[in-house]
Amino acid sequence: MMSLLFLVLISVCWADPHPDNSSLEHERIIHIQENGPRLLVVAEQAKIFSQRGGNVTLPCKFYHEHTSIAGSGTHKIRVKWTKLTSDYLKEVDVFVAMGHHRKSYGKYQGRVFLRESSENDASLIITNIMLEDYGRYKCEVIEGLEDDTAVVALSLEGVVFPYSPRLGRYNLNFHEAQQACLDQDSIIASFDQLYEAWRSGLDWCNAGWLSDGSVQYPITKPREPCGGKNTVPGVRNYGFWDKDKSRYDVFCFTSNFNGRFYYLIHPTKLTYDEAVQACLKDGAQIAKVGQIFAAWKLLGYDRCDAGWLADGSVRYPISRPRKRCSPNEAAVRFVGFPDKKHKLYGVYCFRAYN
């Protein structure tokens, strides 16, 4: 008898609605549609290629699963684009759109907008591509309580080069490494960029910072001083180090430029200060390390004359190896950091186009 009474009481409790929660349960019925169409966000291409100074469209479309409807019509569609940092620890706001409202952020202001070729098109157009635009972008579409995302990678045509300052190897902490690259018309390279450079033949035995804070170096020809001659080729990884205290070289990345890179024809060889003035007199500036690498790699620039560059180094680009001019490989040859006041060389200049 007691068991029967207990069952009756339980059934009464389940049947009795709680008056205070009636509105909450009503809201849940509205928003949870177990058999309804689900919002989907899709990027038609996972990686897009461009170059500095160009325009690019990062694809992103949204729709409801098993239908061709872009939105339900009940809620406004909110589109948000962010850039993922190289270590994936945070996101940087790029662009937000909701209804007629549009907002771009930071260095993207005035350079980004939605393509909107159809009602479900959330693709982002970026104009006047900068080196810093390289990376992975997230497209997020929000409708009411539903949202979905897609990630698109923006890759730039360019060249990775190792860099160390006049002080010599292993003298840069992470922040100084970032600035060193910026000073040479480049940015600190990512692992993906270094990996692609290694696949293209980059071999360098000095470890350098990458954008994610790791320290690595690429080896195509294993040898004793560089991890051992019996090791396999690859990108060697030192791991993550203290960004303030640890000191290494850096790998920089640069792309094409809007200007003219050239060796200045001058009747005499020059000191560093004379070289700077000679370029200015010619309506240009003394060229940077990133510019000589870009001219060499992307334009096939070839010159067997050593010349001053902005950082006080002396280099020359060889794209056609020959006797007396890098006979074994195409490369930007490094002479060193000579005495600026007494050593005499030619000079490489750069004139930007307006």
- pLDDT of 87: 72
Count CA atoms closer than 13 A to 15's CA, side-chain side.
6
The helix/strand/coil state of 98 is strand
* Rounded Cα distance, 261 and 192, in Å: 27
Residues 291 and 267: beta-carbon distance below 8 Å: no
Q: What is the reported pLDDT for 74?
A: 57
Alpha-carbon gap, residue 206 to 217, rounded angstroms: 6
Max alpha carbon distance in the chain (Å)? Answer: 117
pLDDT for 94 equals: 98
Q: Report d(CA 154, CA 137) in Å as an integer.
A: 8
Task: Give me the pLDDT at residue 34, please.
Answer: 45
How many CA atoms, within 13 angstroms, populate the side-chain half-sphere of residue 229? 2
Enter the DSSP assignment of 11. H
The dihedral formed by the CA atoms of 150, 51, 178 and 232, expressed in degrees to the nearest 10: 80
pLDDT, one tens digit for every residue, the chain (354 residues): 444 333 333 333 333 444 343 333 333 333 344 445 689 999 999 999 999 999 999 999 998 875 555 555 557 899 999 999 877 678 999 999 998 899 999 999 999 999 999 999 999 999 999 999 999 999 999 998 899 999 999 999 999 999 999 999 999 999 999 999 999 999 999 999 999 999 999 999 999 999 999 999 999 999 988 888 889 999 999 999 999 999 999 999 999 999 999 999 999 999 999 999 999 999 999 999 999 999 999 999 999 999 999 999 999 999 999 998 989 999 999 999 999 999 999 999 999 997
The number of C-alpha atoms within 13 Å of 159 and in the hemisphere containing its C-beta is 23
b/e code 72-108 from CB counts within 10 Å (16+ = b): beeeebbbbbbbbebeeeebeebbbbeeeeeebeeeb
Radius of gyration of the chain (CA): 29
Residue 5's pLDDT is what? 35
Prediction pTM value = 0.82
The pLDDT assigned to 205 comes to 94
User: How many CB atoms sit inside 10 A of residue 37's CB?
Assistant: 14
Structure tokens at 298: 């992307």
pLDDT at position 12 is 35
Dist CA 106 CA 80 (whole Å): 15
- Residue of 257, 327, 340, 244 lying closest to 295 (CA atoms): 257
> Where do the domains of the chain lie, and which CATH numbers do they carry?
39-64+75-156 (2.60.40.10), 158-254 (3.10.100.10), 256-352 (3.10.100.10)
